[in-house]
Amino acid sequence: MYEIEAAAARLGRGRGPFAVDAERASGFRYSNRAYLIQIRRAGSGTVLIDPVSHGRDPLEALRPVAEVLGSDEWILHSADQDLPCLAEVGMRPPALYDTELAGRLAGFERVNLATMVERLLGFGLAKGHGAADWSKRPLPADWLNYAALDVELLIELRQAIAEVLAGQGKTDWAAQEFDHLRHAGSKDPGAVVRPDRWRRTSGIHRVRDQRGLAAVRELWLTRDRIAQRRDIAPRRILPDSAIIDAALANPTTVEELVALPVFGGRNQRRSAATWLAALDAARQNKNPPVDAEPPNGPPPPARWSRRKPEAAARLEAARAALSEVSERVHVPTENLVSPDLVRRLCWDWEAAPDPFEAVEAFLRAGQARPWQRELVDPVLARALQAPEGTD
């Protein structure tokens, strides 16, 4: 791997766009930070940068590379996965090309990197370490070789998929998508924190009372604090299944707690007092969480026919209309317009003198891109007119 200053100098001597990738330690670490950054540029070759072992503030340490990267377009595959962790160390693209998203817009059924490289360039990519613990040091040589392959052919892949999109008349569509993705993906990754994340605990549907929900919340929050402090993935501290089991069993002593699955293991026995304290806090809490999650948008569509049948009819009509557009232009419906935006539109819809203008205003406010609105505004406006039998 390159020293940061040497990497910046080498990349600065190259020309054209940068092929960029990053490896994280998802499933191993609490943070979503980059543990390896791979960059390739014509005239420079490939450089691998360790962004964590320099012992300095990452923003300052990586500034020389970030400045060079600010001089030309970045090419990434699945950019939404890597842009946040790169923004965290001060690296933000002045322009962006996402080959994975380009493949979706081109109508490719399979858009993983290896498949697209083989289809468009005729080369096979060795895989095998994508789910590895990239926080490990030192990184094995075969891991580094694997990581380098992720940017080896990105520049050529960008050229090939761009030609496909040009032949389909979708170059401008792609440009709008990449610009939207660039602005969304380069925001501060810590700026938006979803409230009540504990409600996403797997198996929480089994907990049906406020006392149990309070236990889930306290155990989840305790686990999260420990995981954040130790920088370990929360489920490696305590699996979701153990949280649910404890919430349902409601143990009041260490002996009762360690009799439960998982808690009887050596590691959990050492932490038994911590988990029992969380359960005690839940029992003493005079403001347990409400049974239902605070509403954030419409309910799941499966409930619409009972709660708001006219909205269910609108959603069915909208989905059918979008499916026809998808087949015509060979773009997945979820890339034509955000499914969440469509659900909100159908749920909140009120008859308007000009349905087209109402749809246009709603989608524009929801950050749908111009190419999307041009395609879907008219079909959604027609679909949202009261279907027969719902008046």
Instruction: List alpha helices for 129-170, DSSP H.
Output: 141-152, 154-167
pLDDT number for residue 391: 47
CATH number at 64 reads 3.30.420.10
Instruction: Please report the pLDDT score of residue 175 as a whole number.
Output: 99
**CA-wise closest residue to 249 among 207, 292, 284, 293:** 207
Is there a single domain that holds both residue 23 and residue 159?
Answer: yes
In a domain, 49, yes or no: yes
C-alpha angle with apex 349: 348 to 352, nearest 5 degrees?
A: 145
Residue 78 domain flag: yes
113 and 92 co-located in one domain: yes
pLDDT of residue 130: 73
Question: What letter represents residue 32's amino acid?
Answer: N
Alpha carbon distances (Å) from 143 to 95, 126, 159, 204: 29, 11, 27, 37
| Residue 32 and residue 100 share a domain | yes
- Quick one: pLDDT at residue 389? 47
Two tokens, residue 282:
């839940």
In whole angstroms, give the CA distance from residue 333 to residue 349: 20
User: Is 391 part of any domain?
Assistant: no
The pTM (predicted TM-score) of the whole model is 0.91
65/146 same-domain check: yes
| CA-to-CA separations, 70 to 23, 51, 79, 229, in angstroms, rounded | 20, 17, 16, 33
Q: From 152, 185, 218, give the residue that closes a domain.
A: 185
- Is the domain of 22 the same as that of 88? yes
Spatial CB neighbours of 251, under 8 Å, sequence gap ≥ 6: 257, 259, 260, 276, 279
Residues 64 and 106 in one domain: yes
Examine the domain organization and report whether 30 and 160 are in the same domain.
Answer: yes
Residues 79 and 161 in one domain: yes
In a domain, 47, yes or no: yes
Q: Give me the DSSP letters along 171-224.
A: HHHHHHHHHHHHHHHTS-TTS---TTGGGG-TTGGG--SHHHHHHHHHHHHHHH
My answer on whether 201 and 273 are in the same domain is yes
The HSE-up count of residue 380 (CA atoms within 13 Å, CB side) is 28
What confidence tens digit (pLDDT) does each residue in 273-284 have?
999 999 999 999
Do 206 and 228 belong to one domain? yes
User: Is residue 315 one of the residues assigned to a domain?
Assistant: yes
Per-residue pLDDT of the chain (391 residues), as tens digits, is 669 999 999 999 999 999 999 999 999 999 999 999 999 999 999 999 999 988 889 999 999 999 999 999 999 999 999 999 999 999 999 999 999 999 999 999 999 999 999 999 999 987 777 789 999 999 999 999 999 999 999 999 999 999 999 999 999 999 999 999 999 876 655 555 677 899 999 999 999 999 999 999 999 999 999 999 999 999 999 999 999 999 999 999 999 999 998 998 888 999 999 999 999 999 999 999 987 666 678 999 999 999 999 999 999 999 999 999 999 999 999 999 999 999 999 999 998 999 999 999 999 999 999 999 999 999 999 999 865 444 4
Q: Which amino acid is at 254?
A: V
Task: Residue 135: give the domain boundaries.
Answer: 4-185
Domain end (from 144, 164, 185): 185
18 contacts 40 by C-beta, under 8 angstroms: yes
Residues 154 and 216 in one domain: no
Q: Does residue 292 sit within a domain? A: no
Single-letter amino acid, residue 225: R
The domain that contains 261 carries what CATH number?
1.10.150.80
Per the domain annotation, does 311 fall within a domain? yes
In a domain, 17, yes or no: yes
Same domain, 312 and 163: no
Q: Any bridge partners for residue 23, and if so which? A: 36
Domain count, the chain: 3
- If DSSP codes are grouped into helix, strand and coil, which group holds residue 232? coil
Picking from 185, 220, 249, the residue at the C-terminal end of a domain is 185
